[in-house]
């Protein structure tokens, strides 16, 4: 077993900020506002908050607990859970854990390329180039060409690996800087957007629910999917942070705090994007192009736009790197546990080489479309379902509750457990089936 004792988080808030850093990413900044825009604004928010509450209390806390119990990452956690049913089952659990772990690695490969694009946008903001271009043509100039952001890609991967070399303490230190700065930057941007003519309509859309929208099943499905991905309850990533938790910590309370700050981040990003889109009559449901086409166009038109562009892309780099940290860490910790003769630093370097090699050869974002479809539609939802089923149907109830109830004042019992078994697991199953159906249908 790898030595996690030297890589524990030094404080509760250090852990929370690191976990929030993992959860806060591109999905918060363009995914959440885009899904709000496509699904009724305030009504979507109501559904989303319901799922965030459910998933944080049972799903995220279970992943933290399983990581802490196994004292390692994904592979060891699945083996530990299955081992409660016997040693023969343990081998099957260890094998099963490779799928959600592969999801972490696969999503990291694409994520590193996207962050490289953000770094490119930051650089063009610093040089002033972004302020004088037609934004759609500018984005096409590097997103559709081979090897167009190689230097930025290398910087992203190397910088992320450097923050990981000291394990949890390094992750904690970097996120203690990155996450507060992220929130401050988006608050500054939100205040600036509030003064745009027409921004009030955006606020009205966000916070005035159109209740009839909640009658549409797909509103709930989109909200559920966003909650899964935003909290990173994918059967892999958050397990490794749980491995670095102290026995005295209440994992449910930590999960709720993680979800609270993650939701604040998503809402803060929406307070920038949605009112700005209303002020300029732009499509709030545009998705990734919000970051590279819509927002730059807005920034070109406002006073001190270059300053706000620099600020925006710094925040996005922080959000992206903090999420990429978690993906690399999940894979590195699990592989070190599986192959203890390999040093952690060597594993991280090998992961960096793989990430750079594959990423550079598939650099144009158009090439990543089919790849990310496979990851997001199949591997990630299936990994989330495997995790949910493992925690609440395979693992013995008393073993799971025993870990959940460490560090608590009042034990959690049947209500918590059956909420996981009969609410959380069906949600994961529905997500898988809907994702598969949508892929087939469209």
The full set of domains in the chain, from first to last, is: 5-441 (1.10.4160)
Three-state SS string over the chain comes to CCCCHHHCCCCHHHHHHHHHHHHCCHHHHHHHHHHHHHCCCHHHHHHHHHHHHHHHHHHHHHHHHHHHHHCCCHHHHHHHHHHCCCHHHHHHHHHHCHHHHHHHHHHHHHHHHHHHHHHHHHHHHHHCHHHHCCHHHHHHHHHCCCCCCHHHHHHHHHHHHHHHCCCHHHHHHHHHHHHHHHHHHHHHHHHHHHCCCCHHHHHHHHHCCCHHHHHCHHHHHHHHHHHHHHHCCCCCHHHHHHCCCCCCCCHHHHHHHHHHHHHHHHHHHHHHHHHHHHHHCCCCCCCCHHHHHHHHHHHHHCCCHHHHHHHHHHHHHHHHHHHHHHHHHHHHHHHHHHCCCCCHHHHHHHHHHHHHHHHHHCCCHHHHHHHHHHHHHHHHHHHHHHHHHHHHHHCCHHHHHHHHCCCCCCCCCHHHHHHHHHHHHHHHHHHHHHHHHHHHHC
Q: What is the pLDDT of residues 153-169, one digit of tens each?
A: 899 999 888 888 765 56
pLDDT the model gives residue 440: 46
Contact 264, 30 (CB under 8 A): no
Exposed (0-12), middle (13-18) or buried (19+): which is 136, by Cβ within 10 Å? middle
Q: Which of 75-79, 100-104, 112-116, 142-146 has the highest mean pLDDT?
A: 75-79
- pLDDT band, residue 389 (cuts 50/70/90): very high
pLDDT the model gives residue 5: 45
- The structure's pTM equals 0.85
Q: What is the pLDDT of residues 315-370, one digit of tens each?
A: 888 878 888 888 888 888 888 888 888 888 899 899 989 888 877 665 555 565 56
d(CA 235, CA 382): 9
Indicate the range of 26-30, 170-174, 424-428, 436-440 predicted with least confidence. 436-440
Closest CA to 404 of 394, 412, 395, 396: 412
**Tokens in use for 212?**
């009839």
- pLDDT band, residue 15 (cuts 50/70/90): confident
pLDDT the model gives residue 434: 82
Which residues, 6+ apart, have CB-to-CB distance to 119 below 8 Å? 149, 152, 155, 156, 313, 317
- pLDDT band, residue 81 (cuts 50/70/90): very high
pLDDT the model gives residue 1: 39
pLDDT the model gives residue 147: 72
Give residue 314's Cα distance to chain centre. 18
Residue 224 CB: number of other CB atoms within 10 A?
Answer: 22
Greatest Cα pair distance in the chain: 66
d(CA 118, CA 378): 26
d(CA 243, CA 13): 16
Angle (CA) 175-110-118 rounded to 5° is 60
**Tokens in use for 291?**
């970051």
Per-residue b or e along 247-274, where b marks 16 or more CB atoms closer than 10 Å to that residue's CB:
eebbbbebbbbbbebbbebbbbbbbbbb
More confident residue, 228 or 252: 252
pLDDT the model gives residue 196: 87
pLDDT tops 90 at residue 175:
no
């Amino acid at each position: 077993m790898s030595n996690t004792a030297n890589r524990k988080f030094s404080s509760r808030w250090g852990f929370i900020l690191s976990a929030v850093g993992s959860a806060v990413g591109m999905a918060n900044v363009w995914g959440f506002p885009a899904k709000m825009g496509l699904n009724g604004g305030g009504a979507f928010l109501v559904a989303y908050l319901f799922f965030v509450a459910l998933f944080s209390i049972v799903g995220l806390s279970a992943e933290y607990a399983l990581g802490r119990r196994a004292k390692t990452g994904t592979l060891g956690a699945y083996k530990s859970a299955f081992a409660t049913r016997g040693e023969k089952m343990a081998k099957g659990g260890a094998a099963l854990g490779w799928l959600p772990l592969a999801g972490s690695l696969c999503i990291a490969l694409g994520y590193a390329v996207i962050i490289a694009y953000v770094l490119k946008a930051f650089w063009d903001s610093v040089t002033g180039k972004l302020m004088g271009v037609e934004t759609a043509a500018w984005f096409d100039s590097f997103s559709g060409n081979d090897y167009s952001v190689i230097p930025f890609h290398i910087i992203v991967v190397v910088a992320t690996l450097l923050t990981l070399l000291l394990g949890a303490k390094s992750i904690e230190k970097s996120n203690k800087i990155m996450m507060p700065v992220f929130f401050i930057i988006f608050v500054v941007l939100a205040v600036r957007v509030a003064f745009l003519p027409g921004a009030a309509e955006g606020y009205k859309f966000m916070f005035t629910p159109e209740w009839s929208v909640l009658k549409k099943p797909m509103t709930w499905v989109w909200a559920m999917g966003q909650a899964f991905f935003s909290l990173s309850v994918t059967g892999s990533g958050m397990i490794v942070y749980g491995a670095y938790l102290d026995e005295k910590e209440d994992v449910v309370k930590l999960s709720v705090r993680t979800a609270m700050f993650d939701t604040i981040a998503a809402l803060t990003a929406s307070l920038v994007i949605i009112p700005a889109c209303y002020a300029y009559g732009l499509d709030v449901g545009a998705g990734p192009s919000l970051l590279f086409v819509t927002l730059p166009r807005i920034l070109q038109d406002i006073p001190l736009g270059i300053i706000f562009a620099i600020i925006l892309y710094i925040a996005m780099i922080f959000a992206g790197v903090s999420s990429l940290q978690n993906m690399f860490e999940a894979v590195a910790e699990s592989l070190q546990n599986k192959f203890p003769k390999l040093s952690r630093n060597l594993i991280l370097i090998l992961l960096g080489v793989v990430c750079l090699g594959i990423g550079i050869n598939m650099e144009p974002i158009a090439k990543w479309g089919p790849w990310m479809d496979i990851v997001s539609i199949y591997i990630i939802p299936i990994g989330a379902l495997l995790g949910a089923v493992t925690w609440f149907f395979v693992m013995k109830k008393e073993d799971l509750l025993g870990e959940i109830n460490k560090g608590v004042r009042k034990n959690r019992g049947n209500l918590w457990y059956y909420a996981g078994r009969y609410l959380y697991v069906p949600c994961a199953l529905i997500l898988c089936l809907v994702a598969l159906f949508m892929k087939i249908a469209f």
